[in-house]
Each structure stands twice: as structure tokens, then as C-alpha cells.
Amino acid sequence: MKMKKAKETNLKKLLDQCQPGDLLCVDWYDASIGKSLGSGLAIDVPVKSWGVFVGALGVKSKHIILAQNNFHYADGVYDVDYTAVPVAWTVNIQILLKEHVQVDEAKHLLNSFLVGGRRTKRKAQMRVANHESD
């Protein structure tokens, strides 16, 4: 039990050092997909996720939110591809670059994430017949 508590304390300290806009690498274990890999049972699947830290959110279970792609459509409006990593599944957090994105932009990314920004729909191309055969 002490080992688990020490891990939680260490991760909390690491997470407390993260500021919106920092570029992170998060090592964590994902759940298995419920299939045998042939060489045995795989329950824990190790994952490395990189992205811009925009916050840690969650009521029942805290998640590290990493923006991985952002589509900037207008001033302060983004569509964000993100990964939400459960803190309880996290093994390590490494800050790769402080202030990779300015704090104001990171806040816009978080706001767009919270409101569920949508990519603009592309208009379907219409076929135009310029020359019809007789």
C-alpha cells in the first residue's frame, strides 16, 4: 500500500509542475482490447502519449488532457484532437518543453475542448456537366 501511495504522491508532484502550454510525454497503461495476442494474455498495454498539456479534468477520475492537433478556425476557436489519460493509469510524466504553446492559446484550446469544437463541414462537390453527348 505504501508503494501505491508513493507513486500517487510522485505523480501529483509531477502533474503540479505541468502548466497549460507545456509539451508533455505521458507514459501510461491502457486497458486491453479483450483479444489474445497469440503469445499470451495482454492485460496492460503500455502507451506513450505526446501533446500540449491543457489541463487535468474530471470529477470521479482525474484525466490529463493533451491536445495533439488543433485546427484554428477563428480567433480563439479551435477544433482539438486530444487524448485524455486517466491519472490513475499514469506511470510517468515528462515535461519535454515548458511553454511550447503560450498560456493564452492553451486556455483557448481547453475552452474549445470543453465546448466540443466542431470542424466546419466541407460542402459536397457538385458534379457539373459542361458537355452532354447527344
Give tens-digit pLDDT for 83-120: 999 999 999 999 999 999 999 888 888 887 887 744 44
**E strands in 7-132:** 23-30, 45-57, 63-74, 77-86, 90-97
Q: Which residues contact 73 (CB under 8 A, 6 or more apart)?
A: 79, 117, 119, 120
pLDDT higher than threshold 70 for residue 133: no
Residue 126's pLDDT band (boundaries 50, 70, 90)? very low
Q: Which residue has the higher pLDDT, 16 or 75?
A: 16
Grade residue 70 by pLDDT with cuts at 50, 70 and 90.
confident
On the question of pLDDT at 62 being above 90, the answer is yes
Strand, helix or coil at 115? helix
- pLDDT(43) > 90: no
Q: Kindly list the structural domains of the chain, giving each domain's residue range(s) and its CATH number in brackets, ordered by start.
A: 2-31+44-115 (2.30.30.100)
